[in-house]
Amino acid sequence: MDWRAEVARPFYLATGHTPLGLRRRRHIAGRGREVTALHDEILDLTDTERTGHEGSDADAVLLAALDAARTGRMHDIVRTIQAEQDRIIRSTHRGVLVVEGGPGTGKTAVALHRAAYLLYAHRELLAKRGVLIVGPGPAFLGYIGGVLPALGETGVLLATPGELFPGVHATGTDRPGAAAVKGRAGMAEVLARVVADRQCLPETVPAGTGEEYDTVPEPALEIDHDGYGTLFLDRTMAHGARDRARATGLPHNQARPSFAFPIIDALTAQLADRLGADPYGGPNLLGPDDVAQLGKEIAMSPAVHAAIDALWPSLTPQQLLTDFLAEPTHLPPHEAGLIRRAPSARPDWTPADVPLLDEAAELLGEDDTARRAAEERAWARRVAYAQGVLDLAQGSESYEFEDEENEFLTVHDVVNAEQLAERHEESDHRSTAQRAAADRTWAFGHVIVDEAQELSEMAWRVLMRRCPTRSMTLVGDPAQTAEEAGCGSWERILSPYVGERWELVRLGVNYRTPAEIMEVAAAVLRELDPGFRPPSSVRSTGVRPWARAAGDPAGALARAVEAERPAEGRLAVIAPRPLHAGLAAVLPGVREGAEPDLAQDVVLLDPRQAKGLEFDTVIVVEPADFQPSDLYVALTRATQSLGVLHSPGRLPAGLHGLGPDGSV
């Protein structure tokens, strides 16, 4: 049966105290099609039947799964779902559910299985709208990418925060402090003012009054209209058109026609007054048809269009943001200096730029007049073609008895040209995830965010636009907040959007990190917060972490990797990014600067890349170069053993108790 079905739920919740009608819980282990082990947990203590597969340790299956060597890819946890996890996975909460837990508590696995459960329980809605899963980086998405397909679900879009704007893949890096400035909620208002600045009024006073003006002119744009002399788009004319366009409440590009039409009408009236003026003071000599013809000429004039573009240009989000970053306005000088960036034809966008691009797209909108006109022309061509087909079909019918009443239906009686064109219109065969990835305005049925504490206020504006129903599962750990722009506090993240209409649940059991390693990692944060309480580890390996001083980090690392490399499983080296080039040279199969392949036996990462990942063995290099939250992340990635390499005299206070061989 499907593990998500309600009838399967007792398998995960039953205990000896509350068996829920079960006699025993059987776990079957296998390799391929071969059964390698059976394990029975007795739940009905009155049941005297014995099969020889009963185990005295009720957690044996769980512990075996936790001790298994890592493969570089996350697997489903269906066979080891714990009761606290099951309650979260099947939660009926329809709004925002926040799952908080320290390292190794299974937050990510719970979130992915909740996605699978929701797709099962609300198939009709979510299959149509899809589910968006946002993870901290490409390595993480590669790590979790096989979980949902293994659970039978493929209608899910996985993306990093830097991939949430179609057509942009943010690979650039911000200077220190820049991401924090870009991530503030106030940037939305700054960009709104930047757009308003592009809705200009004329600033240039015409060179001379000429015959066109009988008073001193106000600032105006001079428009050389072929054959008719110079027209003047003055400040009063532009101000009235701008007020009218802004009053529509439409985004900038969509409001542009409301600015252009009054300008064209005013210039037409100006030209009509000039050409049709009666020298004796009588009424205008031009008739309505003449004025209409002048209006058409004005509307088609390249010079008029250039003048309108100068005052109300059609803009793209990329163009607007490139111009803004080249000269940041409406910001204090020190903040402007942090984000200022020289313009480029092919900008190297950063993840912090993506929410700004999305905000710009909201403010600008898309002037779809040309697109709709093209679609109408294409539709007219399809209808005309369909009509031709129908006419040919009609012409092929027998008219032997055309003078007699024909009792048979003809093709025209069955279908008309519009219906035939609709039937043969090309279908969109892309999956839900593919269509959602290409559509910035797509509204997802549910959104899951991993490491949610790291996202900026501007990034949350993007995600809330992607999910108007506010159906979300957020997982994270405020203690691991590392990004300068990260919100950290759940209340700070959610209050602007849902008030108090959200639910917080906590996972307190660490399934990944052995107690010996967790004790060391917790000591790092206790240096800042003596009251810090880490999640409780369910297992102990008896192997304490070690720390060794090394004058030659690369050489010491090569020796440590050779000694610590597990026979099965994966080893991760977590080091500051500036050291990667030198360290990669001594690591087998590792290329510096490349996105890590987690299927390799040895991988090299920095702490931000390591978020959400796990390895059998971890070696942390130069921990003094990490901020506390990053070091906490690095130290809690190991499932079996942990080592630390550091320069002499450069060991953080929380690690001082470690010996070179794991001794205290």
pLDDT tens profile 488-534 = 789 989 999 999 899 999 998 988 899 999 999 999 999 888 888 88
H runs (alpha helix) in 172-301: 178-183, 187-197, 235-247, 252-275, 288-300
pLDDT tens profile 551-575 = 888 999 999 999 998 888 899 999 9
Contacts of 551 (CB under 8 A, 6+ apart): 647, 648
Strand partners, 434: none
Q: What is the mean pLDDT of residues 578-586?
A: 93
Identify the H or E element spanning 208.
none
How would residue 369 be classed by pLDDT, with cut points 50, 70 and 90? Answer: low
Look at residue 405 and tell me whether its pLDDT is greater than 70: no
> To the nearest whole percent, how much of the chain has pLDDT over 70?
89
At residue 340, what is the residue type?
Answer: R
Whether the CB-CB separation of 198 and 256 falls below 8 Å is answered with no
Identify the H or E element spanning 535.
none
Q: What is the mean pLDDT of residues 151-171?
A: 90
Per the model's pLDDT, the better-predicted residue between 432 and 193 turns out to be 193
Q: What is the pLDDT of residue 333?
A: 95
Q: What is the pLDDT of residue 216?
A: 47
> To the nearest whole percent, how much of the chain has pLDDT over 90?
48
Contacts of 606 (CB under 8 A, 6+ apart): 574, 575, 576, 577, 580
CA distance 378 to 107: 50
Contacts of 464 (CB under 8 A, 6+ apart): 470, 497
SS3 content of the chain, % helix, strand, coil (to 5): 45, 15, 45
CA distance 573 to 610: 10
pLDDT tens profile 236-260 = 999 999 999 999 999 999 999 999 9
Q: What is the pLDDT of residue 75?
A: 77
Buried b (16+ CB within 10 A) or exposed e, 491-505: eebbeebeeeebeee
| E strand spans, 402-451 | 446-449
> Hey, what are 503's tokens?
């639910």
256 phi and psi, to 5 degrees? -60, -45
Cα 471 to chain centroid, rounded:
15
Whether the CB-CB separation of 472 and 493 falls below 8 Å is answered with no
What is the end-to-end Cα distance of the chain in Å, rounded? 50
For residue 503, give the 3-state DSSP assignment. Answer: strand
CA distance 163 to 316: 18
Cα 431 to chain centroid, rounded:
18
pLDDT tens profile 637-647 = 999 999 999 99
- Which residue do the tokens 């939250």 mark? 629
CA distance 265 to 136: 53
Look at residue 66 and tell me whether its pLDDT is greater than 90: no
pLDDT tens profile 266-281 = 999 888 888 876 666 6
pLDDT tens profile 305-358 = 999 999 999 999 999 999 999 999 999 999 999 999 999 888 899 999 999 999
* Mean pLDDT, the chain, whole residue set: 86
Q: What is the pLDDT of residue 426?
A: 63
Of 68-82, 456-470, 608-622, the one with minimum mean pLDDT is 68-82
Q: What is the mean pLDDT of residues 202-221?
A: 68
Most confident of 38-42, 66-70, 583-587: 583-587
Q: What is the pLDDT of residue 432?
A: 87
Look at residue 144 and tell me whether its pLDDT is greater than 80: yes
Output the CA torsion 309→311→315→317 (10° steps).
Answer: 170
Q: What is the pLDDT of residue 575?
A: 95
Of 140-154, 270-284, 328-342, 397-411, the one with minimum mean pLDDT is 397-411
Q: The dihedral of CA 354, 357, 362, 367: what is its sign?
A: negative
CA distance 642 to 534: 17
474 phi and psi, to 5 degrees? -110, 130
Contacts of 187 (CB under 8 A, 6+ apart): 181, 355, 356, 359, 458
Contacts of 185 (CB under 8 A, 6+ apart): 457, 458, 461, 496
The total of other beta-carbon atoms located within 10 Å of residue 589's CB is 10
Per the model's pLDDT, the better-predicted residue between 65 and 541 turns out to be 541
- Classify strands 602-605 and 571-574 as parallel, antiparallel or unpaired: parallel
